[in-house]
């Protein structure tokens, strides 16, 4: 009996109500509140209202958070409009699609800048357009009556024929990735240089020649000066040499990054049978990876390099409505270390295992395949002042436009 009481109390403590009608999610410490708006509200107006309330339109970045909002936040039936016998339109959340993005699933963002990798789209969504207009805002949706689960649907910012009767506010710190300063180009601002003789001047670097160990500086009066680096203080000599390293790293012709997709090992086949011993599925497993090469064509050593990558892939999965495509990300680092001048280094990424399933008597003997979309690479060079220089590229080049950098693996379920 005591155990049963303890379980009931533990379940009751799963969420904590706080002042103002908000509910706390114990998993992330964030506060949530659903706001009902009679007559409906546009996504843009809901965004403004959420920010005035000290929060933002809710951003859902995991299945745990999705379930929490479904069970604990949006239970008020007034928030849901039964548009058809099978379409329940729920409140706005903080997703939007960038203008000009690839339809229907490209360029989706969260209002906070968090990674948009987890998704919970309803079947056949996002659809991209409605009555000739782009659907580029996100709201909760359920394709059943009564509601048996909450998914996502893309919608017009201000739908003229279907009212969205509320929105979900979230309060709490968000993870938008690294906050450390990153240099993607050599500094162009003016710097106070100190000469070895104690005299100072203010200017910015135009160039550095490692062969003659000389630097060219543009002064505030627009006049340029070229002189031996040894004429400057030790701190400024370090500043100039690191300026040069950043320039070299961020120049594609000086430090080249190449990646080649490879298949690792042989394909493996696994047979699945039903209870009667009949073959139901033949699954082929394939290991994919990338061979990444850094080619340092400069005369300078690049010390303590760190290489990070994200491999983006798709895997088809069976569903009652036909094959669905799930997107995943494999993240990792490469042990590069120091890359001496005029040398190359090649490393292999971790493997991404994709499957090709041939189902017998399933939607016309369907073949559910997986494919690699591409790789996004970032190379980091630590500097003496605590900053880091970063060079990034993707294959194909459009990958960085259509996707966001991931800070952890996204596993296809």
Residue 56 and residue 47: Cα distance in Å, rounded?
Answer: 7
Under the banding of pLDDT at 50, 70 and 90, the label for residue 181 is low
Q: What is the pLDDT of residue 249?
A: 96
**Mean pLDDT in residue range 313-318:** 84
Q: What is the pLDDT of residue 243?
A: 95
Pairing state of beta strands 182-183 and 388-395?
A: parallel
**Is residue 295 scored above 90 in pLDDT?**
yes
User: Whose CA is closest to 28, among 72, 68, 57?
Assistant: 68
Which helix (DSSP H) or strand (DSSP E) does residue 278 occupy? none
Question: Is 57:111 a contact under the CB 8 Å cutoff?
Answer: yes
**Mean pLDDT in residue range 199-212:** 93
User: Whose CA is closest to 126, among 139, 116, 115, 113?
Assistant: 139
Instruction: Give φ, ψ of 72 to 5 degrees.
Output: -115, -15
Q: What is the pLDDT of residue 339?
A: 96
Under the banding of pLDDT at 50, 70 and 90, the label for residue 6 is very low
Higher per-residue confidence, 162 vs 177: 162
Q: What pTM does this model have? A: 0.64
The percentage of the chain sitting over the pLDDT mark of 70, rounded to a whole number, equals 86
Under the banding of pLDDT at 50, 70 and 90, the label for residue 45 is very high
**Is residue 82 scored above 60 in pLDDT?**
yes
Q: Which CATH superfamily is domain 182-249 in?
A: SLA1 homology domain 1 (2.30.30.700)
Under the banding of pLDDT at 50, 70 and 90, the label for residue 412 is low
Give 229-252 pLDDT, tens digit per residue: 999 999 999 999 999 999 999 999
**Is residue 150 scored above 70 in pLDDT?**
yes
User: Whose CA is closest to 247, among 306, 220, 286, 207?
Assistant: 207
The edge-to-edge listing of strands for the beta sheet with 324-339 is 182-183, 388-395, 370-382, 302-317, 324-339
Q: Residue 353: beta bridge partners? A: 287
Question: Is 144:151 a contact under the CB 8 Å cutoff?
Answer: no
Residue 79 and residue 70: Cα distance in Å, rounded?
Answer: 12
Joined tokens for residue 194:
């100190």
Q: Which of helix, strand or coil describes residue 29? A: coil
Which helix (DSSP H) or strand (DSSP E) does residue 45 occupy? helix 43-52
CATH 3.40.1350.10 fits 17-171, yes or no: no
Give 85-118 pLDDT, tens digit per residue: 778 899 999 999 988 777 877 788 999 988 787 8
**Is residue 146 scored above 70 in pLDDT?**
no
**Mean pLDDT in residue range 306-333:** 85
Under the banding of pLDDT at 50, 70 and 90, the label for residue 359 is low
Cβ contacts of residue 296 below 8 Å, gap of 6+? 255, 302, 339, 340, 341, 342, 343, 344
**Is residue 413 scored above 70 in pLDDT?**
no
Residue 51 and residue 157: Cα distance in Å, rounded?
Answer: 17
Q: What is the pLDDT of residue 14?
A: 45
Q: What is the 3-state secondary structure (H, E, C) of 300-366?
A: CCEEEEEEEEEEEEEEEECCCCCCEEEEEEEEEEEEEEEECCCEEEEEECCCEEEEEEEECCCCCCC
- Which DSSP string corresponds to 2-14? HHHHHHHHHHHTT
**Is residue 13 scored above 50 in pLDDT?**
no
Domain ranges of the chain: 17-171, 182-249, 255-402
Q: What is the pLDDT of residue 328?
A: 87
């Amino acid at each position: 009996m005591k155990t049963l009481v303890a379980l009931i109390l533990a379940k009751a403590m799963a969420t904590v109500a706080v002042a103002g009608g908000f509910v706390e999610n114990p998993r992330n410490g964030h506060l949530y509140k659903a706001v009902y708006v009679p007559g409906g509200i546009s996504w843009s107006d809901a965004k403004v209202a959420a920010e005035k309330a000290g929060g933002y339109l809710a951003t859902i970045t995991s299945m745990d958070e999705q379930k929490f909002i479904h069970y604990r936040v949006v239970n008020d039936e007034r928030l849901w409009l039964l548009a058809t016998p099978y379409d329940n339109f729920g409140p706005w959340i903080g997703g939007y699609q960038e203008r000009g993005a690839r339809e229907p699933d490209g360029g989706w963002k969260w209002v906070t800048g968090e990674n948009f990798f987890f998704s919970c789209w309803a079947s056949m969504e996002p659809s991209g357009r409605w009555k000739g207009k782009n659907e580029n805002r996100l709201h909760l949706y359920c394709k059943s009556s009564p509601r048996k689960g909450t998914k996502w649907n893309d919608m017009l910012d201000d739908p003229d024929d279907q009212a969205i009767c509320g929105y979900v506010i979230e309060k709490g710190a968000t993870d938008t990735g690294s906050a450390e300063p990153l240099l993607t180009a050599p500094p162009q601002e003016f710097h106070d240089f100190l000469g070895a003789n104690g005299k100072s001047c203010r200017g910015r670097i135009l160039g550095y020649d490692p062969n003659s160990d000389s630097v060219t500086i543009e002064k505030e009066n627009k006049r340029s000066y070229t002189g031996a680096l040894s004429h400057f203080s030790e701190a400024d000599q370090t500043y100039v040499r690191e300026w040069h390293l950043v320039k070299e790293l961020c120049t594609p012709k000086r430090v080249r990054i190449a990646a080649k997709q490879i298949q690792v090992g042989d394909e493996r086949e696994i047979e699945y049978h039903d209870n009667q011993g009949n073959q139901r599925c033949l699954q082929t497993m394939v290991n994919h990876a990338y061979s990444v090469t850094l080619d340092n064509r400069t005369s300078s050593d690049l010390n303590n390099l760190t290489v990070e990558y994200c491999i983006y892939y798709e895997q088809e999965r069976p569903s009652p409505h036909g094959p669905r495509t799930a997107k995943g990300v494999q993240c990792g680092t490469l042990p590069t270390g120091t890359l001496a001048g005029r040398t190359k280094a090649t490393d292999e990424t971790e493997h991404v295992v994709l499957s090709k399933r041939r189902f017998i008597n399933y939607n016309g003997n369907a073949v559910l395949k997986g494919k690699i979309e591409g790789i996004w690479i970032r190379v980091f060079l630590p500097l003496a002042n605590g900053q880091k220089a970063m060079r990034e590229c993707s294959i194909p080049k459009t990958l960085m436009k259509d996707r966001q950098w991931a800070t952890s693996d996204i596993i296809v379920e």
